[in-house]
Amino acid sequence: MKTVARLLAAVAVSFFLLGLVACSDTEVDSLERVREASEISFAMSGGYPPFNFYSENNELVGFDVDVAREVASRLGVTLKPVTTEWSGIIEGLRSGVYDGILGSMAVTEDRLKVVNFSTPYYYSGAQMMVGKDSSFASPEDLRGRIVGVVTGTTFAADAAKLGVGEVKLYKDDTQTLTELSNGVVDGVITDRVVGVNAMNSDRFEIIPLGAPLRSENIAVAFNKNDQTLLEAVDQILRGMHEDGTLARLSVKWLNTDITTK
């Protein structure tokens, strides 16, 4: 009897361990996770007008916010926007703090190593901005000078490529462009649309210097494990391209369509 009992106990333990292995090998369906929660959380900096920023009424608004809200609606869930420091935004995604990053993130080879990207929802470029009364004739004139960029962006590499003397890092472009207007930095590299929008707002005494330094594909970032959610959002974004929704939102916020190459 004792032998039989030991055998039964061993079998029970074996089944328990097999169950644990099976559970650990089961991939979590990220799309189902979002639908069960009835909400999707997208991260952005909250300091990147006209894409995502706080209005005078302290409301998070902008092109990215409207795109995120439409994506959530087509998924049949509620949008939960999350604002966070750009410098740590990818680590937050990888840690599962939010479901995706929909905050004007450019697709790069380095980022593709740690996150996946959707189809691009708009296209832009890196632009050097300088003071309105500056004497610079081209971006190359900023060699040896002080240039400001937002921490964690791809623009620091552009500054290094130009051979600037110092790259000053800031929380967001409200800070970089304020510092530029005040003469603290000689130039700022940012998204072209952001720079031109800031210039037209009359808040900053700045102008674009030369043509964009390079072009960028802007897409939604997802955790490497969240394949089903990526595929669902990808399909939605393609539909928003095809039915003109992305173009309409672009014109609403930017007065131009930046959703096609």
On whether the pTM is more than 0.75, the answer is yes
- In this structure, are residues 97 and 82 in contact, taking their beta carbons and an 8 Å threshold? yes
Instruction: For residue 130, give Cα distances in angstroms to 87, 141, 158, 187, 204.
Output: 24, 11, 15, 5, 10
Same domain, 188 and 151: yes
pLDDT of residue 28: 63
Same domain, 174 and 56: no
Percent of the chain with pLDDT over 90: 82
- In this structure, are residues 100 and 229 in contact, taking their beta carbons and an 8 Å threshold? yes
Same domain, 35 and 90: yes
Which CATH number covers residue 160?
Answer: 3.40.190.10
Same domain, 144 and 77: no
Same domain, 78 and 134: no
Range of the domain at 234: 30-122+217-254
- Looking at the structure of the chain, the number of domains it has is 2
Same domain, 44 and 115: yes
pLDDT of residue 261: 80
Same domain, 63 and 46: yes
The set of residues, in sequence order, having a beta carbon less than 8 Å from that of 120 and lying 6+ positions away, is: 107, 217, 218, 219
Separation between Cα atoms, residue 226 and residue 224, nearest integer Å: 6
Would residue 10 count as lying in a domain?
no
Same domain, 86 and 191: no
Q: What is the mean pLDDT of each run of 10 residues along the chain (261 residues)?
A: 46 44 56 97 94 96 98 98 96 97 96 97 95 95 97 94 97 94 96 89 91 94 97 98 97 90 80
pLDDT of residue 27: 55
Would residue 139 count as lying in a domain?
yes
pLDDT of residue 197: 86
Same domain, 206 and 224: no
Instruction: For residue 7, give Cα distances in angstroms to 2, 19, 165.
Output: 9, 18, 74
Would residue 151 count as lying in a domain?
yes
Same domain, 73 and 105: yes
Residue spans of alpha helices (H) in the chain: 2-25, 30-37, 63-75, 89-94, 109-112, 155-162, 173-181, 192-200, 227-242, 245-254
Would residue 7 count as lying in a domain?
no
Same domain, 208 and 139: yes
